[in-house]
Amino acid sequence: MTEQHDVVVVGSANADLVVRVERWPAPGHTVPGSDLAVVPGGKGANQAVAAARLGGRVAFVGRVGDDPYGTLLRGSLERAGVALDALVTTPGPSGTALITVGPEGESSIIVSPGANGRVTPDDIDRAAGVVGAARVVSLQLEIPMPAVRRAAETAAAAGARVVLNPSPAGPVPLAVLALCDPLVVNEHEAAYLLDGAVGDPAAGAAALRALGPRSAVITLGAAGAVTADATGTARIPAPRVRAVDTTGAGDAFTAALCLRLARGDDLAAAARFAVRAGAAAVRREGAQPSFPTAAELP
């Protein structure tokens, strides 16, 4: 019998190549930066590690390459206690992300998919026992949409709750949106899906729900988050912290949200826990190295 997990993450694993700068380069310009840091990342692996560090039973479904970065990524997930029976090592490079961090902790990211781009619906079918035994299945868009769709359908058919963070922003089929509970976006992703800037976040969350998902969450950085479900909308403030590096903060939020939903919280209560995890993650450099345990939440 397949072990039931609180959260199963189907998604990407990237090696993050991080450089800090005092100012952003203009096109054609060169600026000095810090020493290069190579740390494990990728939205999928980030969420898996963050949920496990908060005490969740977590499994990861995806691909890494047979290069040194793949070894780094697998090792990070293993150390966090994430189950890796459905993590495939494939010939070729692992995913990588080129990350520039500015003086206020804000980040700019370019992703090279590598092995993540070779995740297929067949991978999901082979992992159907793991996906179907989850309480919550977390998805993002750093793997191909056919695999995302198959994972959402497999999870929903088995009675698991589907959480989608459509990042990087891209088209999402209506059939996938209809399975989301919730859809989790930041303000830029919300604007993309709504085809226009989000004014009032509560109205934006309600408008996202009108696209088809059963519930929606818009993350607002230091301002917290807003939720919308059948009971209405709720504004969730975030703790005040000094931001050192925002890389991975959204993944920490989504992971914590998924974990609390798996444990039975309603959406607003889960979001109140999640904003604390996101706030904790910005206090340290890097993505996975910054993720808190429950005892470290502000």
Q: What is the 3-state secondary structure (H, E, C) of 108-168?
A: EEEEECHHHHHCCHHHHHHCHHHHHCEEEEEEECCCCHHHHHHHHHHHHHCCCEEEEECCC
- In-domain check, residue 198: yes
Residue 29 lies in a domain: no
Does residue 26 belong to any structural domain of this protein?
A: no
Q: What is the CATH number of the domain that holds 123?
A: 3.40.1190.20
Tally of domains within the chain? 1
In a domain, 101, yes or no: no
| Amino acid found at 219 | T
- Bridge-based pairing of strands 180-186 and 216-219 is parallel
**Which of the residues are catalytic?**
251
Exposed e or buried b for every residue in 49-76, given b needs 16+ CB within 10 A? bbbbbbebbbbbbbbbbebebbebbbeb
Give a yes or no: residue 20 inside a domain: no
296 is in an annotated binding site: no
Output the pTM of the full model. 0.92
Query: Is 220 assigned a ligand-binding role in the annotation?
Result: yes
Query: 89 among the known binding-site residues?
Result: no
> Is 154 known to sit in a ligand binding site?
no
- Decide if 27 is inside a domain: no
Distance set, CA 9 to CA 5, 62, 101, 172 (Å): 10, 9, 26, 18
* pLDDT for res 232: 95
Residue 103 lies in a domain: no
What pLDDT, on a 0 to 100 scale, did the predictor assign at position 2? 64
Does residue 111 lie within any of the structural domains? no
pLDDT in the model for residue 198: 79
Domain span at residue 137? 5-12+43-93+117-296
Q: How far apart (Å, rounded) are the C-alpha atoms in residues 59 and 261?
A: 16
Strands 14-20 and 107-112: unpaired
Show pLDDT as tens, one digit a residue, over the chain (298 residues).
Answer: 567 899 999 999 999 999 999 998 889 999 999 999 999 999 999 999 999 999 999 999 999 999 999 999 999 999 999 999 999 999 999 999 998 988 887 878 898 999 999 999 999 999 999 999 999 999 999 999 999 999 999 999 999 999 999 999 999 999 999 999 999 999 999 999 999 877 899 999 999 999 999 999 999 999 999 999 999 999 999 988 888 877 789 999 999 999 999 999 999 999 999 999 999 998 887 778 889 899 888 7
Contacts of 1 (CB under 8 A, 6+ apart): none
